[in-house]
Amino acid sequence: MTATTPVLELVEVTKHFGAIKAVDGVSFAVMPGECVGLVGDNGAGKSTLVKIISGYHPQTSGSMQIQGQRVSFASPSDSRQHKIETVYQDLALVEQLDVAANFFLGREKYTGWGRLLRYLDRKVMQSQAREELQRIGISIPRMRATVSELSG
């Protein structure tokens, strides 16, 4: 890897949903430190492209490289391992759940046997969520409060 290796590079990526060509041969590179915007009409394929990059949809053809290494993602957790994360334009919070449950939505922590038994490690999630929020200067008086009970 050199200083000019793209952080992310897509080559001729396509995505078909049956007869619909949602993404049709997209190629671009993102260099270190670059902030790239993706612009297009409604239905142009922006969201689909983001979903491919974040491992939610497999592409129909084309390839993706991260720091010069070819990657293929079977799931969002694969793309997360490469430090790819999607931040949605709406808050995308579940109002009925507390802060920690929202924080770990889709990447919940389980106790020892919990993954098998679907038993969540709420204590660990609460304390890690609190630590991360404190790190960015947000203090939540009551971590058990549901999102609907909190102000903006």
Ligand X SMILES: Nc1ncnc2c1ncn2[C@@H]1O[C@H](COP(=O)(O)OP(=O)(O)OP(=O)(O)O)[C@@H](O)[C@H]1O
Q: How far is CA 90 from CA 77, 86, 87, in A?
A: 21, 12, 9
User: CB of 62: closest distance to ligand X in angstroms?
Assistant: 15
* 60 within 8 A of 16, measured Cβ to Cβ: yes
Cross-strand partners of 28: 10
Residue in 48, 59, 79, 126 binding ligand X, rule: CB under 6 A: 48
Looking at beta carbons only, is 46 or 122 nearer to Mg ion? 46
Residue in 17, 27, 70, 107 binding ligand X, rule: CB under 6 A: 17
Kindly state the number of chain residues that form the binding site for ligand X, as judged by CB under 6 A.
Answer: 11
| CA–CA gap between residue 18 and residue 94 (Å, rounded) | 32
CA-based torsion, 125, 126, 129, 135: positive or negative: negative
Q: Is 25 in the site for ligand X (CB under 6 A)?
A: no
Choose from Mg ion, ligand X, none: what does 44 bind? Cβ within 5-8 Å by kind: ligand X
Looking at beta carbons only, is 22 or 101 nearer to ligand X? 22
Choose from Mg ion, ligand X, none: what does 31 bind? Cβ within 5-8 Å by kind: none
User: CB of 51: closest distance to Mg ion in angstroms?
Assistant: 9
Residue matched to tokens 């671009």: 28
User: Which DSSP string do the residues of 57-68 spell out, in sequence order?
Assistant: S--SEEEEEETT
Q: How far from each other are the two terminal CA atoms of the chain, in whole angstroms?
A: 43
- Of 32-91, binders to Mg ion (CB under 5 A) are 46-47
Looking at beta carbons only, is 84 or 125 nearer to ligand X? 84
Looking at beta carbons only, is 79 or 126 nearer to Mg ion? 79
* 55 within 8 A of 75, measured Cβ to Cβ: yes
Residues that bind ligand X (CB under 6 A): 17, 20, 22, 40, 42-48
